[in-house]
Amino acid sequence: MVQTGADRTTHDTDRVAGGPEQARIDSTGAEHALSGVLTVRSLPAILPKLDALGEKDLKIDLSGLKKIDTAGAYALIRLQSRLQNEGGTLSLAGVQPDHQALIERVAQSLPKPEAQTQARRGMMDGFDSLGRKVVEFLRFLGDLHAMLGLFLARLVHVIRHPSEFRVTALVHHCDQVGLKAVPIVALMGFLIGVVLAFQGSVQLRQFGAEIFVVDLIAISILRELGILLTAIIVAGRTASSYTAAIGSMKMREEIDAMRTLAIDPALALFVPRILALLIVLPILGMIANLTGLIGGAMMAWIELGISPGMFMARLLDDTSLDHVIVGFVKAPVFALIIGVIGCHAGMQVGGNAESLGAQTSSAVVRAIFMVIVADALFSVFFAILGI
Amino acid sequence: MQETVIELRGIINQFGRTRVHDDLDLDVYRGEVLGVVGGSGTGKSVLLRCIAGLRPPQGGSIRIFGQDALNCSEAERRAIDMRMGVMFQDGALFSSLTVRENVEVPMRNLAGLNAGLRRELADLKIAMSGLPYKAGDNYPSELSGGMRKRAGLARALALDPEIVFLDEPTAGLDPIGAAAFDELIKALSETLGLTVFLVTHDLDTLHATCDRIAVLAEKRVMYTGTMADMLHIEHPWVHEYFHGPRARAAVETLERNA
């Protein structure tokens, strides 16, 4: 291709700037001539004009065509098949050899659409999807129990064969789940204590019953809030990280690799993670309780003038140990719920990145929801027992 | 006279203190299939990423379509990118979109292209890359490795680019699939007038598709030339590469088929 220097530069800058790539159709009577550049960029403008050509037997001269790409070739083939359907013909004249080759190539590789069955949407589909969702939910509950059973079975196995247990993994997860969560749990407990003391003092002062603020703080934090809010924070932090870690291993076939290497994923992945939660959650709950009481005592001192010594004495005299026990009994159950849901969601991850994200967020939502449901059931249970 | 579409001059690439490319020059001509070979770690993929604009080099100049690609406005760079397509090693398809939607993605940047036409063109590209029609409805995770590569090629070709970059197009394919892919590249480059920048380790691909080969060694492009030229080069690595047991097997099969 020989071009003069000046000619070429203008030509190139024109194109680089995404310049006007246009196709023109000139009609003189029944003679049509297509010129310019027929590409995917110029197609939207020229296509309506091609469709508007009314004759049955169309003759188009392409000798003025500078450039054509597959989209342009496709437009010509589409025009041809439209005319054939109407019983006409399309004859192209003055086609350059390389353009001809391209058009033939595109014509050869035209897709052959297969009939698609369009799903009908009606009343029955609604019932159908409702039924599927119910079954899916029941299956999910079943899966969770299976996961719990698997964990317990492997735990027993580990107790009988302690050499197979991965202590390093357990320590690592205790560090990740426990130690690194201490600051946020402590801060959360402290603030809850402060808020309870402040709100309680405003109300109790009306009755002159300021001193009961100690009972209010002690009972609500030790019995309910300390462990529940800790569990919710841990569910957010840990269920998601378990799902993401196990899910990405699943996605990259690492879990399949483990199976082929005779490593039991349940033993290697689930047991250390869930066990770490079982160990760490009560400790975190205790920290939340402690900082909650400190926060409450501080606020009671500032707001009501109850000295820390008096707070302590009142706390030890009046608050039954039952509250603390009731609080801590829940911790292992919450830990199991969070761990099992996190690990289960990780195993549900499929082959693509999107399912990893979906499972991670749904693991958090489910874990928090189930923790609250379990807490409600505990309340009913303890009420019946009268503790 | 051949038109140079990509012109690299004095390219320097380094990671920390290790220099991968030092004063590297390379020209790519319009319409050719250029195969880039080199040992592991000689920076073939780095070079590809450099030209594709994914990684600015530490030094040197890159001219694409006669335009300085390193010192140009974002709009100009975008215009250059629209004329190039990249096929990544494993396709790099968007996993949350179907194959057809993947191929439609670059077309969405074009104003005026309506959804129906976009879909038809995507179907055409999918068919041209040798995928069955039904594959358009599949998600990338439902495809085999070879099909993902073809889908990646379909997406790279979506806007009929003038240059396509192929990163190891036949790696991980079975010999029959690889041979079919070689033919596909050759046929597309001939009919579409494509310029192909091909990074590969596959000697069969080099034999079957490449007009010219560039050998990366000692931090620069040591040699460029046709396959026949390569066979007469004395440099130890190049000699080993093109005369090793695998190379001989590739030449023999080619001669048998000829």
Interval A263-295: pLDDT, tens: 888 988 999 999 999 999 999 999 999 999 999
What is the average pLDDT across A333-361?
Answer: 91
Closest Cα of chain A to B211: distance in Å?
Answer: 19
Residue A158 has which token pair? Answer: 């580990």
Please tell me the predicted confidence (pLDDT) of residue A1.
Answer: 39
Q: What is the DSSP string of B1-22?
A: -PPEEEEEEEEEEEETTEEEEE
Please tell me the predicted confidence (pLDDT) of residue B177.
Answer: 82
Give residue A256's identity as a one-letter amino acid code: D
Residue-averaged pLDDT of chain A: 86
Hey, what long-range contacts does A283-287 have (CB within 8 A, 24 or more apart)?
A283/A178, A284/A178, A284/A181, A284/A182, A284/A185, A284/A230, A284/A234, A285/A226, A285/A227, A285/A230, A285/A231, A285/A327, A285/A328, A285/A331, A286/A328, A287/A182, A287/A185, A287/A186, A287/A189, A287/A230
Q: Of A315, A295, A288, which is closest to residue A228 (Cα–Cα)? A: A288
Q: Do A16 and B112 touch (CB under 8 A)?
A: no
Among A13, A16, A39, select the one facing B160 at the smallest CB separation. A39
Domain A21-108 matching CATH 3.30.750.24: the answer reads yes
Q: Using an 8 Å Cβ cutoff, are B168 and B137 in contact?
A: no
Closest Cα of chain A to B160: distance in Å?
Answer: 6
User: Measured between alpha carbons, how far is B124 from B121 in angstroms, rounded to an integer?
Assistant: 5
In the predicted model, is pLDDT for residue A6 greater than 80? Answer: no
Please give the distance of CA B33 from its chain centroid, rounded to a whole number: 9
Residues in chain A closer than 8 A to B126 (CB atoms): 111
Q: Using an 8 Å Cβ cutoff, are B161 and B86 in contact?
A: no
Q: Of A102, A91, A93, which is closest to residue A61 (Cα–Cα)? A: A93
Q: Angle at Cα A342 formed by Cα A329 and Cα B97, nearest 5°?
A: 160
Distances (CA, A) of B130 to A71, A110, B107: 17, 10, 20
What is the average pLDDT across A294-311?
Answer: 92
Q: Out of A141-150, B44-53, B164-173, B234-243, give the one with best mean pLDDT.
A: A141-150
Which of B62, B95, B194 best probes binding to A when mutated, by most A CB atoms within 10 angstroms? Answer: B95
Among B95, B123, B141, select the one facing A111 at the smallest CB separation. B123
Residue B227 has which token pair? Answer: 């396959």
Q: Do A40 and B107 touch (CB under 8 A)?
A: yes
Q: Using an 8 Å Cβ cutoff, are B220 and B44 in contact?
A: no
> Which ranges of chain A would DSSP assign to H, the alpha helix?
5-16, 43-52, 70-85, 97-108, 123-160, 167-177, 182-205, 213-219, 226-234, 240-251, 254-260, 265, 271-304, 308-318, 321-347, 353-385
User: Measured between alpha carbons, how far is B160 from A68 in angstroms, rounded to an integer?
Assistant: 10
In the predicted model, is pLDDT for residue A8 greater than 70? Answer: no
In the predicted model, is pLDDT for residue B1 greater than 60? Answer: no
How many residues comprise chain A?
387
In terms of Cβ atoms closer than 10 Å to its own Cβ (0-12, 13-18, 19+), residue A317 is: exposed
Q: Of A10, A18, A9, which is closest to residue B75 (Cα–Cα)? A: A18
In which residue ranges of chain A is CATH 3.30.750.24 found? 21-108
Say whether A131 sits in a helix, a strand or coil.
Answer: helix
Distances (CA, A) of B74 to A16, A63, B53, B68, B71: 12, 36, 11, 12, 9
User: Measured between alpha carbons, how far is A366 from A372 in angstroms, rounded to an integer?
Assistant: 10
Residue-averaged pLDDT of chain B: 84
Residue A248 has which token pair? Answer: 């990405």
List phi, psi (to 5°) of B32.
-95, 160
Residues of A with CB under 8 A from a CB of B: 1-2, 8-9, 12-13, 15-18, 39-41, 43-45, 47, 69-71, 74, 78, 98, 101-102, 105-106, 109-114, 350-354
In the predicted model, is pLDDT for residue A200 greater than 50? Answer: yes
Interval A74-89: pLDDT, tens: 888 888 888 888 888 8
Q: Of B123, B218, B53, which is closest to residue A112 (Cα–Cα)? A: B123
Q: Do A351 and B124 touch (CB under 8 A)?
A: no
User: Measured between alpha carbons, how far is A338 from A340 in angstroms, rounded to an integer?
Assistant: 6
Please tell me the predicted confidence (pLDDT) of residue A2.
Answer: 41
Q: Do A70 and B133 touch (CB under 8 A)?
A: no
Distances (CA, A) of B222 to A76, B214, B225: 46, 7, 10
Please tell me the predicted confidence (pLDDT) of residue A277.
Answer: 95
B residues 90-119 lying closer than 8 A (beta carbon) to A: 95-96, 107, 110-114, 117
Say whether B41 sits in a helix, a strand or coil.
Answer: coil
Give residue A189's identity as a one-letter amino acid code: G
Q: Do A98 and B193 touch (CB under 8 A)?
A: yes
Residues in chain A closer than 8 A to B110 (CB atoms): 40-41, 44
Please tell me the predicted confidence (pLDDT) of residue B254.
Answer: 65
User: Measured between alpha carbons, how far is A363 from A347 in angstroms, rounded to an integer?
Assistant: 11
Evaluate whether ipTM surpasses 0.95: no
| Residues 6+ positions from B82 with CB-CB distance below 8 Å | A18, B106, B109, B159, B161
In the predicted model, is pLDDT for residue A14 greater than 60? Answer: no
Note whether B126 contacts A: Cβ–Cβ < 8 A.
yes
Please tell me the predicted confidence (pLDDT) of residue A175.
Answer: 95
User: Measured between alpha carbons, how far is A276 from B19 in angstroms, rounded to an integer?
Assistant: 46
Residues in chain A closer than 8 A to B107 (CB atoms): 40
| Residues 6+ positions from A374 with CB-CB distance below 8 Å | A330, A333, A334, A337
Chain B residue closest to A103 (CA)? B191
What is the average pLDDT across A235-256?
Answer: 92
Interval B204-219: pLDDT, tens: 888 888 888 888 888 8
Interval A19-58: pLDDT, tens: 467 778 887 777 788 888 888 888 888 888 887 877 777 7
**Residue B184 vs residue A295, higher pLDDT:** A295
**Residue A373 vs residue B138, higher pLDDT:** A373
Residue A252 has which token pair? Answer: 């990259």
Q: Using an 8 Å Cβ cutoff, are B53 and B216 in contact?
A: no
What is the average pLDDT across A65-77?
Answer: 84
Please tell me the predicted confidence (pLDDT) of residue A335.
Answer: 96
Task: Compute the count of residue pairs across chains A and B with CB atoms less than 8 Å apart.
Answer: 97
Q: Using an 8 Å Cβ cutoff, are B136 and B122 in contact?
A: yes
Residue B34 has which token pair? Answer: 């250029």
Q: Using an 8 Å Cβ cutoff, are B65 and B218 in contact?
A: no
pLDDT bucket at A178, cuts 50 / 70 / 90:
very high
Residue A147 has which token pair? Answer: 């996961």
Q: Do A16 and B79 touch (CB under 8 A)?
A: yes
